[in-house]
Amino acid sequence: MTDLGPVVWPPAPISTERLVLREPEARDRAAVIELFASPEVGTYLGGPQSRAEVERAMPGAPGRRPGRFIVDLDGAMIGQITLTKGTGHLRQAAGKAELGYLFLPQAWGHGYAAEACTAALNWFAGVLPGEPVVLAAQTANTRSMRLAAKLGFIEVERFEAYGAEQWFGMWTSATSDD
């Protein structure tokens, strides 16, 4: 059993037109540190963590866990996608699979996040048919809001948390366009 229930993990790497979704490798460490320490990436996620802190928390290779995909462009990591249950940061997400996406700023604006998330959601719909996926984002995070809409997430509610307005949406394969 995993926190995605009976899902067999890892799947074979998932290829899209331009990208590959795969498990983390030791060679991704520098890019993962860059991702978590980036002020731009952290803007709507409570702010960046210090590079030293991130490095301390990840002494070796980035951790492998069910639902964590590295997004690879031409052999280099450009971001990560998570589809995990029970992170427990919001009561609305409790017990549901939640989508998370973080991309390096230099990879924004090319449609890579949309392409990778679509593939991850298609994978999810195949292994857990009919199960919803939820997503929370600050409404001020316009890039994330645009991406959520593009992926087919439907607004469930808005609320205040962590000192900001949050958008909470839901996706099911049955209602997506794919």
Ligand X SMILES: CC(C)(COP(=O)(O)OP(=O)(O)OC[C@H]1O[C@@H](n2cnc3c(N)ncnc32)[C@H](O)[C@@H]1OP(=O)(O)O)[C@@H](O)C(=O)NCCC(=O)NCCS
Return the residue of 19, 33, 93, 103 that touches ligand X, per CB under 6 A.
Answer: 103
Return the residue of 32, 41, 77, 133 that touches ligand X, per CB under 6 A.
Answer: 41
The string of DSSP letters for 103-138 reads E-GGGTTSSHHHHHHHHHHHHHHHHSTT--EEEEEE
Type and span of the H or E element at 149: helix 142-151
Residue 141 Cβ vs ligand X, minimum distance, rounded to whole Å? 5
Residue 171 within binding range of ligand X, rule CB under 6 A = no
CA 108, 39, 137, 87 torsion: positive or negative?
Answer: positive
Residue 147 within binding range of ligand X, rule CB under 6 A = yes
The span of 1-9, 99-107, 123-131, 169-177 binding ligand X (CB under 6 A) equals 99-107
Nearest CA among 51, 53, 83, 79 for reference residue 66: 83
Residue 158 within binding range of ligand X, rule CB under 6 A = no
Residue 25 Cβ vs ligand X, minimum distance, rounded to whole Å? 20
Residue 83 within binding range of ligand X, rule CB under 6 A = no
| Beta-bridge mates of residue 97 | 85, 133
Measured between alpha carbons, how far is 56 from 39 in angstroms, rounded to an integer? 18
Residue 137 within binding range of ligand X, rule CB under 6 A = yes
Interacting residues with ligand X (CB under 6 A) = 41, 44-45, 101-103, 108-114, 137, 141, 143-144, 147, 150
